[in-house]
Structure 1
Amino acid sequence: MARESFEELPGYAELPDDVKDLEIAATARHGVRLFLRRVNDPDLDHPGSHRLFRERAAQRAEEGMALHLLLRTHALGVYVLWQALRDVAHPGEEAALVELVDILLQTHPGVVGAVAETYLDERSALEAEQRAQQRSLVRGLLDGMVPPGHVLLDQLRLEGPSLVLALGLDSPPPEDPVAVRRRLRRVQTVLDHAFGLDVLALLDGDGGRVIVPKDCAPPADLPRRLGKASGLQVRVAAVRADGPEHITDAGRTATEILRITRVCGLAPALHRLDDVLLEYHLSRRNESSHRIAALLDPVAERPELLETLRTHLSHQQDRRATAAALALHPNTVDNRLAKIAEQTGIDLSSPRGTALAIAALLLRDSEG
């Protein structure tokens, strides 16, 4: 197995000398020995004969060698061995040469199959480990458990401003884990394509959080794209982080925006803080929060009243729009709103009463 033959392979020359001179050479010798054993006993199928090939394939996968280069070394090894057999064959030995080549070609698919299988398994395991580590780092950063500037975060390559998203999948149906994983892969693909890079995503069946490591604005049709990929309505909250040290706060703000849009009954869309400024302000907790939340205690056991109130507020207190959204008669809406006012003392016809109702809904939800 002349080294000169392998030097012709693209990328071979860049390999470390110990890999070329020791490991690849040892693997080639092992392959020749296996071939000679099969020549002596064509029916021999020695257990563990592919072990060295598998070990080397796993090592090459861990080192990052391209699979095509690894497989080419094996294919070239077979060709060089064929050349050696051809060169030493004498006239009249054609039948023997054909028999030897037949054995050589019979054994090659098994070797290539073992090498490719092991390589892909090892790469899959390594990539799964890398994804798990990346998810752990992203979660730690968003949750504030890994401080900005930590050496581990260098792996995320976060520099300068970023965009942080919170995603909400409305009413995901009960599904088996395989279907959920497929949906999340489609969502991940849409996100990567939308921003032109691999985003850092923490996704689950209900949505998740995403860091887009560049200064950009989300596409206006991002919820529609995600909805098409997931088969569900998707709401997206977007917050800009001026630097890695602001990502934790941006993630919390995005999650809160998402919660507020749900509580206030806003339709799934692309939401920013400016879209819910008043609601965001009213939902901040302070000394008066528990008393404001308690204003709705009298109707806490009447979910239809709370849903009517939430829908009425989200439709700018338009009784007909509220009735249409709830599939009710407008008079029924009026009766329910009157019952709420009677039991809570909140006057929904006044700006103050409307603000109190919004704050009470938001604060009760945050308590839950």
Structure 2
Amino acid sequence: MRTQPSEATLRRLERSSGALATQAVARMDEELSWFRAMPASQRSWVTLVAQAGIASLVEWCRNPGRPPRLTGEVFGAAPRELMQAVPLKRSVDLIKVTVEVVEDRVEQVAEPGDADRLRLTVLQFSREIAFAAAHVYASFAENRGAWDARLEALVVDALVRGDRSDELPGRAAALGWTETEPVVVLVGSAPPGEDDARAAVRRAARSLGCEVLVGVHADELVVVLGGAADLAQITSRVCREFGPGPVVLGPRVDSLAHAGESATVALAGLRAAAAWPGAPRPVEAEDLLPERALDGDPLARSALADRVVAPLQAAGAEVLETVRTVLGNGGNLEATARALFVHTNTVRYRLKRAAELTGYSATDPRGAWTLQLALALAQLEGGRSLWH
């Protein structure tokens, strides 16, 4: 007994596909409020998809054992953006409306005696195409995830290389990054399980309302953070997801276009951080200026010259000589006062002045180390006037 519609019915259905698609879209407009709110371009895509779906029904009737090739035959009629604009549940609603319209027109379309067979075939096809739609959406999500991962890796790699291309913000926007400030870069060792680490970093950052990009460069985990209301809180939380060893925070910049500058400084800090075993985690790259300078970082050497040496020179010989003498006496103020033939309070005043100018105290171990290294580098680089 024949169970499929006749060829004559299928030809009539084929000829009616345009009119049926138009009627289906009209009903969608009546019944689906979200469809009415769609832009005209997306509504026109749906019309094409509906028409392609009816054509696919005809082909499926001729080859009932073959599942509908939804990607090529149906959604191939519209851009891939349609699957982003219309989520799966709404897509099923569109299929349902289209099937209902075809069912309502079965009597007009089918040849005499063929209506029941066509109606049954339409019902079977609607079930098949609903399953096929779910598969296509799942495949699209998987492919989109893989594409996003590749794009994110390219963006982070460009930042690590110090690229300031105008294309970077656009690429990041495609990943959902919104233009925000401040932007900082956090670097450290990558833990085992690269994908799990990336996911954990994203969850941690987004739970605190922060934009985030994550990448692995060699064995280093690179995290770009944007718009953190409480930078200390977010960096403290995110650094838990790094592997063992130091985690270094680059300086703040005002946009993603300048994040390469923060990444460059953070990576220089990471290379030098081993020289400060007691560094906090995370440690700011700016706090690693002495170690970075020893490691040959020209930015760090320049910063020490500008922030330490130049202000001490400008303050005059007395302040500079007092700092040098305190450093030579291991921070002993009384010994310094005797060596300079001044009162201890004078030494304290001059050191306070030096700390105000440079941000470093000669009586603090970390500050003394920074001051001593900055002055030594200046001496090596030809600043002999510092000592005379």
TM normalised by structure 2 equals 0.55
Question: Which residue, 207, 212, 220 being the options, matches 1:199?
Answer: 212
Separation of aligned partners in 2, 1:44 and 1:285: 70
Q: What residue is the counterpart of 2:35 in the other structure?
A: 12
Counterparts of 2:172 and 2:67, CA distance in 1: 44
Greater Cα shift, 215-224 or 263-272: 215-224
- Residue 186 of structure 2 is aligned to residue 153 of structure 1: no
Where does the alignment leave 5 or more consecutive residues of structure 1 unmatched? 174-178, 290-350, 360-368
Give the alignment partner of residue 219 of structure 1, picking from 210, 219, 232: 232
1:109-157 Cα offsets, whole Å, 9 max, x none, are 321222232233234434533442343234223422344xx24534436
Cα 1:269–1:52, aligned 2, differ >3 Å: closer, same or farther? same
User: Is 1:243 aligned to 2:254, yes or no?
Assistant: yes
Secondary structure at the aligned position of 2:35 is classed as: coil
Q: 2:140: which partner in 1?
A: 122
1:185 matched to 2:199? The reply is yes
Q: Secondary structure at the match of 1:209?
A: strand
Give distance in 1, aligned partners of 2:197 and 2:238: 13
SS at match of 2:222: strand
1:144 alignment partner, SS class: coil
From the superposition, tell whether residues 80 and 268 of structure 1 become closer, same or farther in structure 2 (CA, over 3 Å).
Answer: farther
Q: Does 1:30 align with 2:50?
A: no
- Residue in 1 that maps onto 2:96: 75
Q: Which amino acid aligns with 2:139?
A: D
Aligned 8 A contact 2:183 2:224 in 1:
yes
Task: Report the residue type matching 2:32 in the other structure.
Answer: L
The 1-side partners of 2:206 and 2:78 are apart by: 31
- Count of aligned positions: 270
1:166 counterpart residue number: 186
Deviation at 1:66, TM superposition (A): 3.0
The separation in 1 between residues aligned to 2:285 and 2:168, in whole angstroms, is: 31
1:30 CA drift (Å):
1.7
**CA–CA separation in structure 2 for the residues paired with 1:225 and 1:105:** 52
Offset of 1:218 from its aligned partner?
Answer: 2.5
Instruction: Note if contact 1:57-1:116 (Cα within 8 Å) is conserved in structure 2.
Output: no
Within 5 Å, give how 1:1-368 maps onto structure 2. 1=20, 2=23, 3-7=25-29, 8-13=31-36, 14=38, 15-16=40-41, 18-21=44-47, 23-34=48-59, 37=61, 44-46=64-66, 50=70, 51-56=72-77, 59=80, 61=82, 64-84=85-105, 103-147=121-165, 150-156=166-172, 161-169=181-189, 172=191, 179-194=193-208, 196-203=209-216, 206-214=219-227, 216-220=229-233, 222-223=235-236, 226-227=239-240, 232-233=243-244, 235-244=246-255, 246-266=258-278, 269-273=281-285, 275-284=287-296
The alpha-carbon distance between structure 1 residues 224 and 160, as it changes in their structure 2 partners (threshold 3 A), is closer
Which protein has the larger Cα radius of gyration, Structure 1 or Structure 2? Answer: 2
**Contact 1:164-1:212 within 8 A present in 2 as well:** yes
Aligned partners of 2:234, 2:226: CA distance in 1, in Å? Answer: 20
Q: CA deviation at 1:271?
A: 1.0
Q: 1:216 to 1:263 in 2, by over 3 A?
A: farther
Structure 2 partner of 1:298: none
CA contact (8 A) 1:166 1:258 kept: no
Query: What code does the residue aligned with 1:241 have?
Result: R
Q: Alpha-carbon deviation of 1:258?
A: 2.5
Cα deviation, 1:36-75, whole Å, max 9, x if unaligned, reads x37xxxx932476654125247645467433333222112
* Structure 2 Cα separation of the partners of residues 79 and 44 of structure 1: 20
Residues 166, 207 of structure 1: 8 Å contact kept = no
Change in CA separation of 1:182 and 1:56 when aligned onto 2, cut-off 3 Å: farther
Aligned residues of 1:166 and 1:237 also touching (Cα < 8 A) = yes
Question: Shift in Å at residue 102 of structure 1?
Answer: 5.1
- Aligned to 2:211, the other structure's residue is in SS state coil
Shift of 1:243: 2.8
C-alpha distance 25-128 of structure 1, shift in aligned 2 (>3 A): same
Q: Is the 8 A contact 1:233 1:268 kept in 2?
A: no
Question: Which segments of 5 or more consecutive residues in structure 2 lack a partner in the other structure?
Answer: 1-19, 302-364, 374-388
Query: What is the alpha-carbon distance in structure 2 between the residues aligned to residue 224 and residue 59 of structure 1?
Result: 37
**Compared CA separation, residues 88 and 277, structure 1 to 2 (3 A):** closer
After superposition, the Cα gap between the structure-2 partners of 1:205 and 1:277, relative to the gap in structure 1 and judged at 3 Å, is closer
Q: 1:59–1:257: structure 2 CA closer, same or farther, 3 Å change rule?
A: closer
Give RMSD over aligned pairs.
Answer: 4.2
CA distance in structure 2 between the partners assigned to 1:20 and 1:273 by the alignment: 53
- 1:29, distance to aligned residue in structure 2 (A): 2.7
**Whole-Å separation in 1 of the counterparts to 2:127 and 2:65:** 14
Q: 2:316 — aligned with what?
A: none
